[in-house]
Structure 1
Amino acid sequence: MVSPAQQTLFLPFDNGILLPPVGETRFLAAGIEANTALGDVWKTALTCLQPFRPDYLKLQSTGFHAVTRLDDHARFDGGLLLLGKHRGRNEEWFADLLSRVAPGGTIVVCGGKKLGIDSFRKWAGKTVAVEDRLSKNHAVVFWLTRPAELTDEAIAALRPAAKHVNGQFHTAPGMFSHGEVDRASALLAGHLEGRLSGAVADFGAGWGYLSAECLKYPQKIRKLDLYEADFEAIEAARGNLSGFAGDVPLAFHWHDLVSEPVTEIYDTVVMNPPFHEGRATDVSLGQAFITAAARRLKTGGRLLLVANRQLPYEATLKPLFRSVETLQETDGFKAIEAKK
């Protein structure tokens, strides 16, 4: 079922206010989900910019053309933007649309009211005049025409700045814990010494903080594999760890741990699993990560996990592991060691 906000995104076309694509018309769509109700005209016209692997896979499997990044020379006749929860990534995508859509082309933007669509509309309107808006399904859609006189400098000014953490890690808006070390991950990092061995995996690796902490003990690690569903984050991790690895072989997997199987076997898995789907808590995400780890750990292998203290992961861990021990509880988080 497609989100109400995405239904609202297409409302100006459904109502005949805006013209849908015809012939060779091409639209760039940033952040949209797969929607089988969209006809072949839209499927043919759309290039879907989607770095989040679960949504990317659904788009591809339902016949849409999905990409993680745009070719330098890609240009379009119109654009669509479905806002996500990360304001910085929304701003980056809006700038992408302005730089890729031809002058005179229509750009349509939609988001839920709780995601700040009204403030985003006012922000966008400071650079390009908003022509009109509609409201439905607790969402707002607005549209504008890409001006011919808009300069590259004006578009560049819209892009949020990347942030460096500890002077060494590159992070960008949209990534988990953009611009700072996550406190829960830092808690788990304090318990890695003496607990890492052999083949190690980082499930939900983000931009690579926990993996970098693992690499502080290279004499204990035979190899380190990173798994992450956000393409931009795993690519950032690839760059961030280039100076840390030494002789430890690294592998970077753009991977959905919920729907895609892991094929390797590990001695140690570390994780700070996600627990939000949009704005709602979704314990099943962390449970899926734990189940995936249990399947791919050797007998005697070790899972090192950190989570918010109130999340009931012990009920999932205990049937799958020989022993489960809370290493530390502090500041609303818990670090757990589970042995297979």
Structure 2
Amino acid sequence: MSDDAPLKTLTLPFTRGELAWPAGGKVACLRARAGLLLPDGVSAQDIVAEQSYLPHVHALRRGGWQVDGQGAELGGTFDLVLVLPPRQKEEARATFARAVALCAPGGRVVACQHNDEGARSGEADLKALAGLGGSLTKNHCRVFWTAPLHGQHDAALAARWAAADAPRAIAGGRFISRPGVFAWDRIDPASALLVEHLPGKLAGVGADLGAGWGYLSAEVLSRCEKVTRIDLYEAEGRALALARTNLAGFGERAGFHWADVSAGLDGKYDFIVSNPPFHTTNRTGRPELGQSFIKAAADGLRQGGRLLLVANRHLPYEEVLGASFCQIDVLAERDGFKLISAIKAGR
């Protein structure tokens, strides 16, 4: 990822000689991404990576990393814990707390953030939690680290930050969610628009592409009695774990796939609903992500199957829809969103 500046900067203290890599020690990287610049003599196999976003997991494994994924959290202790903090503040603070807890006696936490993604705030948070040993700036990023830790962190603050990231009830107690997943504390207005116009005649087996914590699928199963099953496809393991809980009451009517939709679907479907992503994890605009969802839907639908797609009004989806679908209609528009219905064309 050539445009991922934090990856270029995270190991700067080691390449500049400010810090020494723990020779023979255990090293972990939280929210790891492929492309990290490693010091001479260090390989990806020397680091245990934690990552729950499947495209990153695939890239890491191709690079030889040991990866824990789908929301699994590392155990044990480490001599060095590298951190690429997420953007969402509560999740980032909980990640710092976990990093400190993972440090063996004498271990150190080293973190890096882009200046436009909360670097100063992140540095202040780590300082409040465990104190700072130093910091450097480069590539419009700030890399900062603790002194060797021997339990001298604020345990009460760490406990509060960990609790702030825990799953909790939202939407009047109907669902649970947690910081860091998409629209974690509310019903996303685009998804709400789709639900308001759900055709009551939806039937058979469907799929929800980019299902998040499960709102769309739950509404489909609640409102459409003739739907026998809906398969949820979601690349973020933290979100999929929430969806499993939120749809537990539907039993076998709900299926769950930790999957990269752009790589294709596992079955053939009578209908598909989707509120696809249109940016990467670092918020870079990527309309081709939504376009890849449309192509996957076209491949995954049976002839005559229906796609219900909600998206920002400005996104350029009509051309890719026209390649595989007929009867393309805008069912509703509101607050900058559009709801599109498209029928998969026959041969």
TM-score range, shorter chain: over 0.9
Check 1:106–1:238 CA distance in 2 against 1; reply closer, same or farther (3 A cut): same
In the TM superposition, 1:187-202 aligns within 5 A as 187-202=193-208
Corresponding residue for residue 212 of structure 1: 218
Check 1:20–1:70 CA distance in 2 against 1; reply closer, same or farther (3 A cut): farther
Indicate conservation of the 8 Å contact 2:201/2:224, yes or no: no
Indicate conservation of the 8 Å contact 1:128/1:147, yes or no: no
CA RMSD of aligned residues (A): 1.8
How far 1:124 moved relative to its partner? 2.0
User: For residues 169 and 70 of structure 1, what CA distance do their matches in structure 2 show?
Assistant: 21
Q: Which residue of 173, 177, 198 maps to 1:171?
A: 177
> Does structure 1 residue 275 correspond to structure 2 residue 264?
no
User: For residues 313 and 174 of structure 2, what CA distance do their matches in structure 1 show?
Assistant: 30
* DSSP-derived class of the 2:48 partner: strand
In the TM superposition, 1:310-325 aligns within 5 A as 310-325=314-329
How far 1:75 moved relative to its partner? 1.6
- Structure 2 regions of 5+ residues with no counterpart? none
Corresponding residue for residue 78 of structure 2: 76
Corresponding residue for residue 13 of structure 1: 14
Q: Which residue of 235, 250, 258 maps to 2:241?
A: 235
Corresponding residue for residue 133 of structure 1: 135
Indicate conservation of the 8 Å contact 2:52/2:72, yes or no: no
User: For residues 73 and 259 of structure 2, what CA distance do their matches in structure 1 show?
Assistant: 22
Q: Which residue of 240, 245, 250 maps to 2:254?
A: 250
1:173-219 deviation line (CA, Å, top 9, x unaligned): 11000111101000001111325221110000000000010111352
Indicate conservation of the 8 Å contact 2:8/2:36, yes or no: no
Indicate conservation of the 8 Å contact 2:11/2:37, yes or no: no
User: For residues 231 and 297 of structure 1, what CA distance do their matches in structure 2 show?
Assistant: 25
Q: What TM-score do the two structures reach when normalised by structure 1? A: 0.94
User: For residues 79 and 93 of structure 2, what CA distance do their matches in structure 1 show?
Assistant: 20
Corresponding residue for residue 297 of structure 1: 301
User: For residues 122 and 271 of structure 2, what CA distance do their matches in structure 1 show?
Assistant: 43
Indicate conservation of the 8 Å contact 1:112/1:140, yes or no: yes
Indicate conservation of the 8 Å contact 2:50/2:74, yes or no: no
How far 1:42 moved relative to its partner? 3.8
Letter of the 1:49 counterpart: E
User: For residues 287 and 177 of structure 2, what CA distance do their matches in structure 1 show?
Assistant: 26
Larger helix share, 1 or 2: 2
Letter of the 1:111 counterpart: Q
Indicate conservation of the 8 Å contact 1:83/1:115, yes or no: no
Stretch deviating more after TM superposition (153-162 or 9-18): 153-162
Corresponding residue for residue 51 of structure 1: 52
* DSSP-derived class of the 1:90 partner: helix
Indicate conservation of the 8 Å contact 1:21/1:42, yes or no: no
User: For residues 75 and 31 of structure 2, what CA distance do their matches in structure 1 show?
Assistant: 20
Indicate conservation of the 8 Å contact 2:130/2:152, yes or no: no
User: For residues 6 and 269 of structure 2, what CA distance do their matches in structure 1 show?
Assistant: 41
Q: Please identify runs of 4+ aligned residues in structure 1 that moved more than 6 A.
A: none
User: How many residue pairs were aligned?
Assistant: 336
How far 1:318 moved relative to its partner? 1.4
User: For residues 134 and 262 of structure 1, what CA distance do their matches in structure 2 show?
Assistant: 44
